[in-house]
Amino acid sequence: MLGPFDFVVWLAGFLAEVFVLAWAVRDRTMLRYRSLLVYVAALAVDEVLSFVILRRYGFTSNEYVYYYYYSEAVLTLLMFVAIMGLCSRMFREQQRSGVLRVFTLVVLAVVVLYAAAVTAVKHQLLATRFAGEFNESLYFTGMILTYALWVMLLRRRDPRLRLVLVISAFGIYFGGQTMTYTLRALFPAATSLHYLLALMGAWLPLSLAYSFYKVSEEARVPLEQLAGVW
Amino acid sequence: MHELLVLVLASVLTLYLGIRYWRALLWSASRQRLSEASRELGEWIDGPHGEKSLAVVCALLRVCPKLERGSDRKLVAVSVYDRLLGVIEKLWPQRGGERNPWIAAERRACAYFAAIMLDQRITRTSQWYAGQVTNSSS
């Protein structure tokens, strides 16, 4: 059953998503992150829909469980599309060679198509144990891809601070979700893990809201400030 | 075994990116310019023993009138980070008693962050005081 903690974290995440969208209307530089904004909009719609389904059918109902896993898979697909957008933007800025650019985008596109195909074909299994494994694999792939994106970002002497924060936030999100799903697989009886899942859900919109509100598009961070550890 | 490997890899990468995220945040927060009122403090932080100046800046923050409500959560987080760096420096001292340049730079950034908070507080208090004086004279 969902408690006050879950609702507070949920509300914080939802408000951050609405804030990001509202801020995009004001700050036109954010339109460069179109795919990311589409993902945030989908997140906000999902929050409303899941709340309605939760109120109507209850937390333990089949309808809610089915909706939760199905929407999770679709949102993860949209997240990969958002990362593709970030990737192609970075390639454009760095004027990378065409081969590397096409290769990275093809890898991402294959992941998206694979996940979309699984979601479409095996949708009846998405409320079972398979859903957990499927999401864990997607998050793990996302984590590796985001890390690769991070390494590419570091090859630039003075990367944009906003891009650094957005990509790190995605990496932390993917890593955190992978950890949570793996811990759930290792310790299925640990009920307290759902707090971690709720916190990770709110982390991404909150960190995006901070990055867009506090950091200007032109701000840059010297490489040595980021890479001076380990 | 497979799950354990994934868990270790995910933990390492999340920690790695978490540290980078924190550094980027700290860097962006400590890049603001200080006003005339606290510029000397900034110069002192940039000086030879500036890495140990967070305690002094925090003491100044405590004596500066505070108009806003709530606790200084950001300052608490930065202080904890500064202490952690202090402990790391004590545990792994450099050869020849030299300071670790990275730790010194990080601790300076922490002190600079607190100096910006002090600067903002002084500005707000001055504005409030100026408003009070104008109201009482009119």
B59-113 residue pLDDT tens = 888 888 777 666 577 788 888 888 888 888 888 776 666 777 778 878 888 888 8
**Nearest CB to A219; choose among B4, B21, B28:** B28
User: Which pLDDT score is estimated for A104?
Assistant: 67
Instruction: Return the higher-pLDDT residue of A50 and A122.
Output: A50
Res B31: pLDDT: 65
Position A133 in a domain: yes
Q: How far is B14 from chain A (nearest CA, A)?
A: 5
d(CA A180, CA A213): 29
Instruction: Tell whether A21 lies on the interface with B, counting CB pairs under 8 A.
Output: no
The three-state secondary structure class of A78 is helix
First and final CA of chain B: distance in angstroms?
Answer: 77
**pLDDT band per the 50, 70, 90 thresholds, residue A223:** low
**The dihedral formed by the CA atoms of A183, A74, A169 and A161, expressed in degrees to the nearest 10:** 160
Is the pLDDT score of A152 beyond 50?
Answer: yes
> How close is the nearest chain A Cα to the Cα of B17, in Å?
6
Q: Tell me, what DSSP letter sits at residue A211?
A: H
Q: What is the pLDDT of residues B14-60, one digit of tens each?
A: 888 888 888 788 777 666 666 776 777 777 777 777 777 788 888 88
Question: Residue A42's pLDDT is what?
Answer: 92
Task: Kindly state whether residue A226 falls inside one of the protein's structural domains.
Answer: no
When CB atoms are compared, the residue of A146, A176, A228 closest to B102 is A228
Question: What CATH number corresponds to the domain at position A54?
Answer: 1.20.1070.10
Instruction: Give the pLDDT mean for B105-128.
Output: 81
Confidence of residue A121 (pLDDT cuts 50, 70, 90): low
CB contact, 8 Å: A147 with chain B? Answer: yes
For residue A225, pLDDT over 70 is answered with no
pLDDT over threshold 80, residue A182:
yes
For B25, name the nearest residue in chain A, comparing CA atoms only.
Answer: A165
Provide CB contacts within 8 A for A108, sequence distance 6+: A80, A83, A84, A87, A145
The gap from C-alpha A123 to its chain's centroid, in whole angstroms, comes to 21
Q: Note the pLDDT of residue A187.
A: 82
Q: Which of B16, B21, B105 sits opposite A165 (nearest CB)?
A: B21
Asked, for residue A227, whether it belongs to a domain, the answer is no
Does the beta-carbon distance from B13 to A164 stay under 8 Å? no
Residue span of the structural domain in which A46 resides? 4-217
Residue-level pLDDT at A45: 92
Please give the tally of structural domains in chain A: 1
- List, for residues A14-59, the tens digit of each pLDDT value: 999 999 888 888 877 777 788 888 999 999 999 889 888 888 888 7
Per-residue model confidence (pLDDT) at position A64:
82
- Cβ of A175 within 8 Å of Cβ of B19? The answer is no
Q: Which of B10, B23, B27 sits opposite A179 (nearest CB)?
A: B10
What would the DSSP string read from start to end of A81-124?
A: HHHHHHHHHHHHHHT--HHHHHHHHHHHHHHHHHHHHHHHHTGG
Give the mean pLDDT of chain A: 78
Chain A to chain B Cβ contacts (< 8 Å): 78
**Is A183 exposed, middle or buried, given 0-12, 13-18 or 19+ CB atoms closer than 10 A?**
middle
In the predicted model, is pLDDT for residue A185 greater than 60?
Answer: yes
In chain A, whose CA is at the least distance from the CA of B106?
Answer: A225
Determine contact, residues A221/B28, Cβ cutoff 8 Å.
yes
**Complex ipTM, two decimals?**
0.76
From the CA of A229, how many Å to the nearest CA of chain B?
8
CB contact under 8 A, B19 and A179: no
Q: Is A142 on the interface with B (CB under 8 A)?
A: no
pLDDT digits (tens, 9 = 90+) for A57-110: 887 788 887 788 778 878 887 888 888 788 777 777 666 656 666 766 677 677
Tell me, yes or no, whether A230 lies in a domain: no
Residue A162 confidence (pLDDT): 84
| pLDDT at residue A230, as a whole number | 34
The CB-based long-range contact list for B72-81 (8 Å cut-off, 24+ gap) reads B72/B117, B74/B29, B74/B113, B74/B117, B75/B113, B75/B114, B75/B117, B78/B26, B78/B54, B78/B110, B78/B113, B78/B114, B79/B54, B79/B110, B81/B22, B81/B26, B81/B106, B81/B110
